[in-house]
Chain A
Amino acid sequence: MSVLYERVTKVWLALMVLTVVSTWGLSNGLFGPTVAVTGIFLIAAVKARFVMLDFMELRYAPVPVRAAFEGWIVVVVAMILGFWFLTPPAG
């Protein structure tokens, strides 16, 4: 078993890259708040889904369990973005 060929290793690399993109790319001043916040939370949803399906191995879980966890991240991100769009500007 070579660690490099493991799916979890490829997933880990993708997670690291996505983290760098959202932390040091999208959050800097180059992007407007709407693009930055939407992008950052959509990336968070993708990362969370990778962790659930590949690290927690929910990919092979009974469908209701997998749906509940995937539903959790959809609801959480939709709720956060929903509140964000409802919040008046800070200025």
Chain B
Amino acid sequence: VAALSTLSEKRGRLHGVDGIWALIGADAVIFAFLFGSFMQERLHNPGAFEVSRHTLNINLGGIDTLILLTSSWTVALAIQALKRDLAERMPRYLLVGMLTGLLFMACKAIEYVQKLAHGITPATNSFYMWYFTLTGIHLFHVALGTALLAYVWIRSRRGRYRSTNRAVPECVASFWHLVDLVWIVLFPLLYLMKAA
């Protein structure tokens, strides 16, 4: 009976507070509309989108993906440690999560500088307008998520979290995983989608 009640408790539980899931859900829906708008624009001008896509750095985009996945993994490890009352392990995992977030931002900065150095701006054509807009909005999420991870990291170093007090780290972790989730779709959409 105890095991069953634990299972049903486990089954019906959301990370953090319910409000964060409304925010994450709304954000995910907004991104879905943006992806649809990108595809609609591409429908009318596949040639220009294909030529422009070839100028993007696929290797750097792939590395960005590996960086974000690693970041999400370490943040998930931090939450696992917290749940098991191993809160002293949290700061090291969160630090890696935060540093990989900064690394992603550095990679994006390199990519933007490369584009601008070649005279490519959002005004160049509609593909680049979408490229800068979508990656820019995503980058804002990365910056916000990294700042939130820094906040949780500082507080975890001071021993502020316990397995019974983990709503804030779980909310931040869930937001960080959304950032990863969006990039998982955004990267192939912009960088890998060949024309028919």
Partner of A40, one of B39, B47, B84, B193: B193
CA A19 to CA B184, docked complex, whole Å: 9
A to B contact number (C-beta, < 8 Å): 149
Instruction: Let me know if B65 and A19 touch, CB within 8 A.
Output: yes
Question: Within the complex, which residue of B49, B80, B181, B194 is in contact with A33, where a contact is CB–CB below 8 Å?
Answer: B194
Whether the Cβ atoms of A83 and B36 lie closer than 8 Å is yes
The dominant DSSP class at the A interface is: helix
Set of chain A residues within 8 Å of B36, measured between Cβ atoms: 79, 83
Query: Quick check: B28 and A72 within 8 Å, CB to CB?
Result: yes
- Kindly identify, within residues 63 to 79 of chain A, every residue whose CB is under 8 Å from any CB belonging to chain B: 65, 68-69, 72-73, 75-77, 79
Known contacts A33-B194, A75-B32, A83-B40; is-contact A90 B47 (Cβ 8 Å)? yes
Query: Are B39 and A84 in contact, CB atoms less than 8 angstroms apart?
Result: yes
* Closest beta carbon of chain B to A44's beta carbon, Å: 5
**Is the pair A12, B73 in contact by a Cβ cutoff of 8 Å?**
yes
Tell me which of B13-21, B105-113, B141-149 binds A: B13-21
- B77 touches which one: A6, A62, A90 (CB < 8 A)? A6
Interface residues in chain B, defined as those with a beta carbon under 8 Å from any beta carbon in chain A: 10-15, 21, 25, 28-29, 32, 35-36, 39-40, 42-43, 46-47, 49-50, 58, 61-62, 65-66, 69-70, 72-73, 75-77, 79-81, 84, 86, 89, 173-174, 177-178, 180-181, 184-185, 187-189, 192-196
